[in-house]
Amino acid sequence: MYNRIRSFGHIQHEPPRRAKGPMHMAYRKGTFPWACAALLLCGLPCALAGQDTEAPGTALEVEDSIVKVFATIRPPDFSQPWTKQPAREVNGTGFVIEGDRILTNAHVVLYANQVQIQGNRSSARITASVEHIAPGIDLAVLKPEDPSFFASHAPLVLSDALPPVRDSVLVYGYPYGGDNLSITKGIVSRIDFAPYNYGTAGLRVQIDAAINPGNSGGPALVGDRVVGVAFSMLAESQNIGYIIPSEEVDLFLSDIRDGSYDGKAIMLDMLQTLENPALREYLNLDGGTEGLVVHAPYGSGSSYPLRKWDVLSRIEDTPVDNQGNILLDDNLKISFAYIVQKAAKGATVGLTVVRDGGLVALELPIVRRRPMLMPFLMGDYPPYFILGPIVFSVASEDLVGALMTGRSAAGNSLSLAGSPLVTRRNDAPAFDGEELVVVPCPLFSHPLAKGYGHPTMNVVESVNGIAIRNLRHLVEVVRDSSDEFITIEFFGRVTESLVFRRADMIRGTEDILNDSGIRNLASPDLLPVWNGGGGDGEAAGGGSD
């Protein structure tokens, strides 16, 4: 997990493992960049892709707590942001937990416009809603429409401890290959702190029980307690599956008690290991001092607690070794980031650092979401604005990740051109509200576009000489312009400048929308901006029904 310098909470962009299914398809119209290092287990047609209560006592009662989850999903279509991908059916597994709720994986219901559950040995499907979802740690809570469902389906109880390595587990679920509940047996083979989805990391338990597409969201039990939730398998391997341990589930459930999900506590400081002898000598450290060296504090002001060359030696009362690990028990070493998420108190976590030969205790501010110039959509749809033959949208990590997958021609072109989509991929916004505005698709076929090449996936630098801060700002600049022409410039020297008569663009927009069957010229968040006055907003309505 370490390179020479690592940012904990920083997104690690690694080449994807080869896997079957939708997650690792090259970017093209209608594909969706699932973000996961292993293969998610929801069933896709033609593709692989706690509080203590009385626990169910018998195996039959446990089985009655398991449900099959059916979802109809419509992920974004990045090449046509005014629409969505065609609906497709997926299925997974869920189980009843306290509070008359059902727990499943986020990837089973992400972008779902319809969710249903079906109890074991039942033929009735019950409509459910997604009450809470955390795509990063891949967990979601469902609420059935009919509360009487829970009268005959008791909640399973989450274990309050990690399962020991070599413990036997039973995994329940509805994998492809049959309609009845499947139960497989295996052992816990490894526990580590690893990347999940969307830049999130957490505890992960590896098991060798057979789990397959459709198992997603199913419980793994030791005795009558749930020790984890099945969520992925390693592609092109035999019986290497992963479960989200109950400790991570409990963190998620605790977070949503106030009605919203805030995310996991993370540090964003850049740290490096303390293994090199010359580095230790430079810092005048004795042989007994261990920890991580602060390479670049996240905060730049004098009030920020950490300084360059501090040695992070403890998180609360837990010592950190020279590789950044902590000892969880006598046999389990794990990344110190685990203690950050576990020990964080509100907005801070207690640290002890070695500074100028002495120990300094301090409270470090932590964040719940990493500020990103190109954030993950996390279940949202990309905004858009159509002006004449051009579509404008916002760069997201989902979009850029899809473009950069493998050795795609689009990704190579972006790299060679020095596109901000590549050079600023890991940046935080330079100012509040900063976005990169991109043209996600070729120009519409229209006389207005005559003689111009397609600026697909180029980043807008300015409109009429005004530097563009975000997509809303672009809409405002065009709306309020009284100039005869609209000039659009892009970052880099490769893409040509585009010039249009403003009045022609406004009139042409209506024709293009009608010809293409597009309902509105902008996404719901931007339509009021365009209609908000200023300029001659002739295209205020926009489009066909």
Query: Looking at the annotation, which residues are catalytic?
Result: 107, 216
| Separation of alpha carbons 375 and 395, rounded Å | 8
| Separation of alpha carbons 212 and 40, rounded Å | 9
Strand residues in 41-176 grouped as ranges (E):
66-73, 88-97, 101-104, 112-119, 125-134, 139-144, 157-158, 168-173
Q: Tokens representing 135?
A: 């795509």
Separation of CA 337 from chain center:
18
**By 3-state DSSP, what share of the chain in percent is helix, strand and coil, each rounded to 5?**
20, 30, 50
Q: Which residues pair with 467 in a beta bridge?
A: 462
Q: Which residues contact 513 (CB under 8 A, 6 or more apart)?
A: 386, 519, 520, 521, 542, 543, 544
Q: Which residues pair with 134 in a beta bridge?
A: 139
Cα–Cα nearest to 200, from 269, 132, 279, 262: 262
Whether residue 62 contacts residue 224, with contact meaning beta carbons closer than 8 Å, is answered with yes
Whether residue 436 contacts residue 428, with contact meaning beta carbons closer than 8 Å, is answered with no
| Side chain identity at residue 332, one-letter code | L
Q: Which helix (H) or strand (E) holds 477?
A: helix 471-480
| Side chain identity at residue 482, one-letter code | S
Whether residue 90 contacts residue 36, with contact meaning beta carbons closer than 8 Å, is answered with no
331-369 per-residue burial string, b: 16 or more CB within 10 A, e: under 16: eeebbbbbbbbbbbeeeebebbbbbeeeeeeeebebbeb
Q: Tokens representing 148?
A: 């009487």
| Separation of alpha carbons 208 and 239, rounded Å | 5
Q: Tokens representing 203?
A: 């505890």
Q: Which residues contact 83 (CB under 8 A, 6 or more apart)?
A: 77, 518
Whether residue 56 contacts residue 68, with contact meaning beta carbons closer than 8 Å, is answered with no
Q: Which residues contact 71 (CB under 8 A, 6 or more apart)?
A: 42, 89, 90, 91, 92, 108, 109, 112, 114, 115, 116
| Separation of alpha carbons 490 and 493, rounded Å | 8
**Matching residue, tokens 């706690």:** 50
